[in-house]
Copies of this chain bind each other. A is one copy, B any other.
Amino acid sequence: MAGRVTMADIAEMAGVTKSTVSRYFNGGYVKEETREKIRKAAKAHGYSPNTFARLKARESGMVGVVVPSLNSKISSRVITSIDRYLREEGYETLIKNSDHQIQLELANIRRLMSLNVDGILISSISIVEEHRELIRNSPVPVVVLAQEYPEGISVVDDDYQAGFVMGQYVGRTNPKHTAYLSVTEEDQAVGVVRRRGVLDGLKSCGVENVRVLIGDYSYESGQNMTGQLLEEGPADAIICATDRLAFGAYRVLHDRGLSIPDDVSVAAFGGYDESSLLTPRLTTVKFDSYAVGYLGAETLLKCIRREPVPKKQVVGFQLIEGESVRLL
């Protein structure tokens, strides 16, 4: 592990000034002959310019992405999609994980700004006042993913419609004791909007008195909520805010000898590959997370290039019918 070689060193070896070497690395005009000398010198020392010293450069070529988790299927899809798009467009992606902590998310945003990225994509669990302030004062464009953000630019899933459609789908089967396993309201998109959709969809079929339990995003939480639910009384339909929660429900229902869907219908949101492997296959809504990532990245680049962009883009979803809901 060698010492640091600088542009001045390379310039000296190539018998030119650092201006020329700088141009070489930034696509400026350099005579083929000179170019060759620089290439050799750089190669010999494995030299690449120190990005940190590009103080005067207007653009860093980097885009920051903040995600709430690296453990979730959805985040994985969104980031993968963003990353691929940006790479194609010649941008670097810097990924920061907030691990479901708002304070960390804010710190990540600040950090990316201080890293001089050209723009930021935020996939947030929850937009709080500090976000607004941070985004308002941002020196670079910011696009918010998966959460409504009326003050700025966002790309969102159609959580309400998806919830409504699923609510109707289950509501039509005429359940007597329906429950919705949700997450905290901190997460606007999932904890508030999706839930409202589900409840409204159910109501449109005459299903009221829905028990709503609140947990987090984990498998264990799905198990706990289901356990609690069964203790509190009978249940013949459980809609889960995410597939992972449904996995927990499956486990508990299986363990108690309850049959899906004969005793209890289960449905969820996510559309993970694994969900189709469950027995019975899980009925679920699949959001187009790749589209969220793709559109988000595309929109951000447009902002960076000062092209006009829509304030809000809503991507589609798809109801995937499994066999986990008892049809009439």
Interface residues, chain A, CB within 8 Å of chain B? 1-4, 45-46, 48-55, 60, 69-71, 76-77, 79-80, 83-84, 87, 92-97, 99, 104, 110-111, 113-116, 133-142, 219, 247, 250-251, 272-274, 276-279
Contacts and interface: CB of A to CB of B under 8 A. Distances in A.
Contacts of A276: 251
B2 A137 contact: yes
B80 A99 contact: yes
B136 A1 contact: yes
Given A95-B96, A274-B247, A52 B115 contact: yes
A51 B114 contact: yes
A1 B93 CA distance: 21
Nearest to A272: B274
Count the copies.
2
Contacts of A54: 52
A70 B289 CA distance: 14
A83 B111 contact: no
B277 A51 contact: no
A83 B110 contact: no
6 contacts: A1-B142, A51-B114, A69-B80, A70-B79, A94-B94, A247-B273
A115 B94 CA distance: 11
A115 B274 contact: no
A97 B84 CA distance: 9
Contacts of A273: 219, 247
A73 B79 CA distance: 14
B55 A52 contact: yes
A115 B48 CA distance: 10
Nearest to A75: B70
A247 B272 CA distance: 12
B70 A80 contact: yes
B279 A140 contact: no
A51, A140, A278, most chain B CB atoms within 10 A: A51
Contact of A3 (B2, B53, B139): B139
A3 to B, nearest CB: 7
A250 B278 CA distance: 10
A173 to B, nearest CB: 23
A84 B272 CA distance: 26
Nearest to A135: B1
B97 A70 contact: no
A250 B273 CA distance: 13
Contacts of A49: 114
Q: Chain B CB within 10 Å — which of A110, A135, A142, A274 has the most? A: A274
Contacts of A95: 70, 94-97
Nearest to A278: B277
Contacts of A69: 80
Contacts of A133: 46
